[in-house]
Amino acid sequence: MIVTMILVFLTAIVAGAFGGMLGVGGGMVLIPVVTLFLGVPMKVAIGASIVSVIATSSAAQIVYVRRGLTNTRLGMVLELATSLGAILGGLTAVLLEARVLQGLFGALLLWTAWGMHRGRHADGAHEATGLLPQRYLDESTGQTVEYGVHRLPLGMGLSFIAGNVSGLLGVGGGSVKVPVTNLLMNVPLKAAIATSNFAIGVTAATSAAIYYGKGFMDPRVAAPTALGILIGAQIGPRVGARLRSHVLRIVFTLLLLAFAVQMFVGAAR
């Protein structure tokens, strides 16, 4: 047990670093590793993963807010849309077969990865619209970036759907929010990552409270996960801030592809 716990802790550091750097929860690193290699049951792994999303979001956010990368107001609007979607997802979960949904979500992730790849030329081309404007210093270039949000209603609608899907599958909040914010709402990638990171904590907190209440949380897995994430998620954003946006974009696109494969494997099982 003690060895497993140490390995869970180390896995969580890596998951937290990746999740924190990319604005996603890190469950897609944590869940497969602990279930496939460490023999942790799926239900326990999901409970720990939800805790890991809160820890990732909160720990990384301390770094992002301090650096002024988070568009807090946009984050609040997005978390409203997402949490409303998540409630609906939780209500309709019984109506749809998980495998069908995983297949569809996998296809959506592939399409999103293509969009992220094509969107690479847009790095740096941001204009001030006056809507939820924000300004930050990009550490990798030393330049101050100023932007405003485009297409807010469309972004909210898609965040609602993202919340809906993550309510149904228990995954995928950030992997949809980052591309939507970056590609459609024209928010620079680094700010999109920080803002998505801000917003994913809220829905996770709700799910985690439910999981806790139902007794689906194993302290032998959840406790080392939480501690590991708290460390990793402070490292990730610091690394991410120094990377050029196009490097971050490539890493994020690869993450989407890996996530799509996971969804397809789940659907084919």
Partner 1 sequence: MSTVDDRADTEGHAEPADRPAPAVDERIDRLVRRVLTVGLSLSAILLCAGFVTWAARGGDMPATVPGPLSAARSLAALDPIGFFSYGLLVLILTPFVRVAGSIVIFLREHDWRFAAVTGLVLVSMGAGLLVGSL
**Site track for partner 1 across 69-108, x = CB under 8 A:** -x-xx--xx-xx--xx-xx--xx-----------------
- Residue whose CB is less far from partner 1, 234 or 264: 234
Instruction: Pick the closer one to partner 1 by CB: 115 or 157.
Output: 157
Tell me whether residue 122 or residue 227 sits nearer to partner 1 (CB atom).
227
Query: CA 120 to CA 143: how far, in whole Å?
Result: 18
Identify the CA nearest to 78 among candidates 149, 129, 168.
Answer: 149
Is residue 201 part of the contact set for partner 1 (CB under 8 A)? yes
User: Of 130, 158, 147, 129, which Cα lies nearest the Cα of 194?
Assistant: 147
> Which of 39, 95, 121, 214: binder of partner 1 (CB under 8 A)?
214
Q: How far is the CB of 107 from partner 1 (least distance, A)?
A: 27
Name the phi and psi angles at 135, rounded to 5. Answer: -140, 135
Q: Which is nearer to partner 1, 56 or 262 (CB)?
A: 56
Q: Is residue 12 within 8 Å of 229, Cβ to Cβ?
A: yes
62 binds partner 1 (CB under 8 A): yes
Beta-bridged to residue 136, according to DSSP, are 145
Nearest-5° Cα angle at 130, 158 to 246 = 60
> Residue type at 89?
G
Integer CA distances (angstroms), 209 to 27, 33, 54, 255, in order: 17, 24, 11, 28
User: What does the alpha-carbon distance between residue 24 and residue 206 come to, in Å, rounded to a whole number?
Assistant: 17
Binding of residue 133 to partner 1 (CB under 8 A): yes
Q: How far is the CB of 168 from partner 1 (least distance, A)?
A: 13
Binders in 237-266 for partner 1, by CB under 8 A: none
Number of residues binding to partner 1, judged by CB under 8 A: 56
Q: Which residue from 120, 135, 242, 246 is in contact with partner 1, where contact means CB under 8 A?
A: 135
- Whether the Cβ atoms of residue 243 and residue 25 lie closer than 8 Å to each other: no
Cβ burial, residue 81 (10 Å; 0-12/13-18/19+): buried
Q: Alpha-carbon distance 141 to 94, whole Å?
A: 48
Using CB under 8 A as the binding rule, whether residue 213 contacts partner 1 is answered as yes
| Cα separation, 4 vs 19, whole angstroms | 22
Q: Is 142 in the site for partner 1 (CB under 8 A)?
A: no
Interacting stretch for partner 1, rule CB under 8 A, among 20-28, 101-109, 183-191, 207-215? 207-215
51 scored as a contact of partner 1 (CB under 8 A): yes
Q: Give the nearer residue to partner 1 in terms of CB position, either 54 or 267.
A: 54
Binds partner 1 (CB under 8 A): choice among 36, 42, 100, 128: 128
Residue 259 structure tokens: 């996530």
Q: Which residues bind partner 1 (CB under 8 A)?
A: 1, 44, 51, 54-55, 57-59, 61-62, 65-66, 68, 70, 72-73, 76-77, 79-80, 83-84, 86-87, 90-91, 128, 130, 132-133, 135, 198, 201-210, 212-220, 222-223, 226-227, 230
